[in-house]
Amino acid sequence: MVRGLAHAHDKARAETGTAKAIKAMQRYDPEFDFASMHFEVEEIFREFYCNYLDGNLDYIRKLTAGEAVIVQALIELRRKEGWEFKYPEVLDCSVPDFIGAKVVEGQPCFTFTVDVQEIDAKIVSETGEPYVPVYVEEESE
């Protein structure tokens, strides 16, 4: 029995976070293929980023829960300031670069980086005119 516990302990310690995340994902989806995951990540990211550019806060909240609180805050700030992106489409995305994976609170989490190109043209939400930010200079003492 002691030998069995020692073996189980060694196996648990030797398994990487990525291997654990892949196994956890395969429990949800037996057809899960880590090698082709980057294609799905690219498609999901494009959809996510287009919804960000379009200001679709409901979509962002549903997809990310609390993880993307900064993205949510940026959308809310843009609404408060009264502007939006003129072109809510992504020009181009790089191939996702795998950073790592782990299991967090029983859920598999995979981390990728993606470079994105967009047209950074902002318009006033109500009029469609170009948005020009107003900068307030701080007074010096």
Domains of the chain in sequence order: 17-124 (3.10.450.240)
* pLDDT number for residue 6: 52
Instruction: Return all residues near 11 (Cβ < 8 A) that are at least 6 apart.
Output: none
* pLDDT number for residue 62: 85
CB neighbour class for 21 (10 Å; exposed up to 12, middle 13-18, buried from 19): buried
Tokens, residue 100: 């790592």
Structure confidence by residue, pLDDT tens digits, 58-95: 999 888 766 678 999 999 999 999 999 999 999 999 99
pTM of the model: 0.74
Alpha-carbon dihedral sign for residues 72, 73, 77, 78: negative
As a whole number of Å, the end-to-end CA separation of the chain is 75
Query: Which ranges of the chain would DSSP assign to H, the alpha helix?
Result: 2-14, 17-28, 37-54, 57-64, 69-81
* pLDDT number for residue 20: 94
The residue with greater pLDDT, 138 or 109, is 109
